[in-house]
Amino acid sequence: MKRILLSLLMLISLREAALAQTSNTSPDAQPTGLLILSKQGSGPILRDSLSLTLASGPGCDQTQTRIPDGSRMISDSFALNVNDSGLGTFHGSVRIVTARDEILHVGIIRGTVGINDCDPTSTVCATVCNRPWHLEGIYEPAPTFARNPNGEVAIANFKADLDPRVAGPLPIYRARLDGWFSPPPTFARRIRIAPDKSMYLTNETIQVSVTNGSESAIQGYDLKSRCSIFELQRQESDRWVTAGQCFLRRAPLPVNIKPGETLQVELQPTGPSAPIRQGVYRIALTFRVLDDDKMLSDYFVAFSPLLRINGMPQREAVSVSVDSDRYFKGQAINVTIDNNTARAIRTFDHQTNCSIVTVQRLQDGNWVNVAECPLASPTRPVKIASRESVAVKLPAAPFTGDFEPGVYRVEFSYAELDGDEQNPGPSVKLYSAQFSIVPGRGMKAKE
């Protein structure tokens, strides 16, 4: 309750500041200070979830372009703690998303259930103050170390009541979200991040440009996704997860971008980092502003428009893959050979650990075969039937040695057999995605 009172005091002070800046401004004028947020919502609120479709309230909402009609406030980590009389509390993390489930804002919501404004002249509190199933509380942005250049809901009152017009198995509520929206600083809106396309395949290079259209230099740091200055973030439920971890072992280096300068960066689909999965992504740049070569203390983050990465089109092919992009030394490496073609293929054993695949390590820019087969027995052909998948586990029994830390790939060589499965065609070589082997827990890397 103390935290709610403090939040209410903060809301009052924000309101006074905003009124001072907007007293001579019409509701449609988009003032430079705080903007009026006035949304109405409708949808189910359950004991463990919330889903409200939002629309601008009549007259005064100034956030239509930032939170368009049809956006939704949703939560799958919601807790409605009430008794049978509809009295109690609620809290949870929520996200405001577009109609296409693209995240706009992430916040925290909490308050009381069943409390109404009391008549100070009444002495019968239970009949005057209790309002069963009435939700009333505060929406606040989720904590973050960097400011959102698209703006943020500064703070808002949240109210919801059961909709008496709707009868059905789910409790449908009418809700309101009224408060203040903090637009981004003018200079932050002038940092533009632009991928060269809005849609990619998982094996395509993402070309990204960042343009500093402000009047000050900005500074970011490398060793982010694919060791660049950008974070490639994938949307997962109510959060953004950074993809393409960099494994370089050094301190991050600063990268300055002068006013009016455009920097071009390539995010490669291959490398020691994990392969890029399909999904909805955005590209983020965390930066600080330089003023006469002195760094300002605040961090800002700029985002690209949303982009989508799709999987490769399904087609008949032979493939080789590993089950991870990173292993500890001594951990088993599971390799899968998938013959998704209409014909059988032939390969040979006596390769790494006498298996049918060759493991290669990157040394001084060259790929070197490792763990070659020590057996003196004849090499044998191995047939893989049409539509058959073969699993290979390395190190393979009876070999117990493991691979040293480094960057690796798996090579698979095969030839397609004719209709009688007798005569092989030309030899073909395939390679898995690169992966890394790191020292095991409690071990130190070799110098």
In order, the DSSP letters of 161-188 are EE-TT--SSS-EEEEEEEEEEEPPPTGG
Is residue 36 classed as helix, strand or coil in its secondary structure? strand
Predicted pLDDT at 73: 94
- Between CA 264 and CA 138 the distance in angstroms is 42
Strands 435-438, 326-328: pairing kind: parallel
**Contact present, 128 and 118 (Cβ < 8 Å):** yes
Query: Could you report the average pLDDT of every consecutive run of 10 residues in the chain (447 residues)?
Result: 44 41 40 82 93 88 90 91 92 87 86 80 60 93 67 91 85 94 76 90 89 89 91 80 86 92 88 76 88 66 86 73 86 88 89 91 87 82 89 73 84 86 82 86 43
SS3 assignment for 81-143: EECCCCCEEEEEEEEEECCCCCEEEEEEEEEEEEECCCCCCCCCHHHHHEEEEEEEEEEEECC
Of 242, 229, 314, nearest to 279 by C-alpha is 242
Q: Of 188, 287, 276, nearest to 232 (Cα)? A: 276
Q: Please name the amino acid found at residue 133.
A: W
Question: How many CA atoms are closer than 13 Å to the CA of 259, on its beta-carbon side?
Answer: 9
What are the structure tokens assigned to 194, written together? 């632009």
In order of start, what are the domains of the chain with their CATH numbers? 2-182 (no CATH), 187-310 (2.60.40.2550), 317-438 (2.60.40.2550)
Question: b/e for 328-366, b at 16 or more Cβ within 10 A?
Answer: ebeeebebebbbebeebbbbebbbbbbbbbbbbbeeeee
pTM for the whole thing? Answer: 0.49
Cα dihedral: 430, 435, 438, 440 (round 10)? -80
Q: ∠ at Cα 70 (231, 109), nearest 5°?
A: 65
Using DSSP's 3-state secondary structure scheme, residue 66 falls into coil
Q: What pLDDT does residue 31 have?
A: 43
* Alpha-carbon distances, residue 45 vs 67, 258, 295, 308, 409 (angstroms): 21, 49, 46, 31, 50
Nearest Cα to Cα of residue 140 among 129, 153, 151, 131: 153
Tell me the torsion sign for CA atoms 159, 164, 165, 168.
positive
